[in-house]
Amino acid sequence: MNERFELILLRSGAQSIHSLDYGETMHIGLGPAEEAETLYVKGLRIVERLRETEPGAAFVVWDVGLGAAANALAVIRAGAACERTLRLVSFDHCTDLLRFAIRHAGDLGYLDGFAERLGALIEEGAVSFHAGALRVEWELIRGDFPTWLRSPEAQQTVKPHAILFDPFSPARNPGMWTASVFDDLFAVLDPARPCSLATYSRSTMTRAGLLLAGFHAGVGYATGLKEETTVAANESGLITRPLDERWLERARKSTGAEPLREAVYRQAPLTPETWSRLQRHPQFQKA
């Protein structure tokens, strides 16, 4: 078999996966399980918000970049003591990485107890089960996520309370990080449903793109090699450490703050129009 992935032993002692196509190692800092727990479960307050969900209602999570399922499984495990329903919608253009992870479940560890469920998700596109007290309803949507966002299906799909945004990096996968993707993602949310997003990227261009789309943006938890990550939300109250005027001034001086306008990676300073729009964002208006 001509593998496109390989196992990598991290400094933390955890095993992770390296993509030969993209030249990147996933969860390179803390390892798959711990990084997913820190960045997404803690960063989005998944357990607290699950418990706040009305009995009989579902807490909806969009998992953008299913990959090897580390993020989704971290959410499921964290919520196992909650007698609630988790609606999990995962997105990826293919399942090759997940199939590799299933074949190496023993080495990776974090798939323990879920390999059969994941196999069913791949084959059937949806699976339902209980993880402890938690009812899990898991759907897989395959294809190009930016294209899907502009489809009628996106308007009809159940809207999220939380988004795990985990594509490969802007340098390797720029089509997932453009300003238009963030615009379309914000537009498809339910304005009446508070929704937060977490991502490992702390880049100024990513944060500027989220802000321009209408999100509020802030600093997320450190994850080993990164002293901070990014959280964003359609409601300011979901941001614990919002970006402030000092960040805005650093963005103005940065040589790489302008969001990507097309699926080609490049770095450029803010245009006058972008700078003006960032200044007018409600997050930076003094009370």
Structure tokens at 277: 């729009």
> Is residue 150 domain-resident?
yes
Task: Please give the pLDDT value at position 247.
Answer: 97
The rounded mean pLDDT for the chain is 94
Task: Please give the pLDDT value at position 26.
Answer: 85
| CATH number of the domain bearing residue 262 | 3.40.50.150
| Number of separate domains in the chain | 1
CA 122 to chain centroid: 20
pLDDT tens for 97-154 read: 999 999 999 999 999 999 999 999 999 999 999 999 999 999 999 999 999 999 999 9
Task: Please give the pLDDT value at position 10.
Answer: 87
> Is residue 176 domain-resident?
yes
- Mean pLDDT lowest among 2-6, 73-77, 100-104, 268-272: 2-6
> Is residue 23 domain-resident?
no
What phi, psi does 108 have (nearest 5°)? Answer: -80, -35
**Is the predicted pLDDT of residue 47 greater than 80, yes or no?**
yes
> Is residue 5 domain-resident?
no
> Is residue 163 domain-resident?
yes
> Is residue 4 domain-resident?
no
Please, what sign has the CA dihedral across residues 205, 183, 91, 266?
A: negative
| Residue ranges making up the domain that contains 113 | 29-269
> Is residue 13 domain-resident?
no
> Is residue 16 domain-resident?
no
Task: Please give the pLDDT value at position 1.
Answer: 45
Q: What is the pTM of this model?
A: 0.96
Sheet bearing 196-199, strands edge to edge: 126-131, 134-142, 85-92, 58-64, 162-165, 196-199, 229-233, 216-220
pLDDT tens for 217-245 read: 999 998 877 789 999 999 999 999 999 99
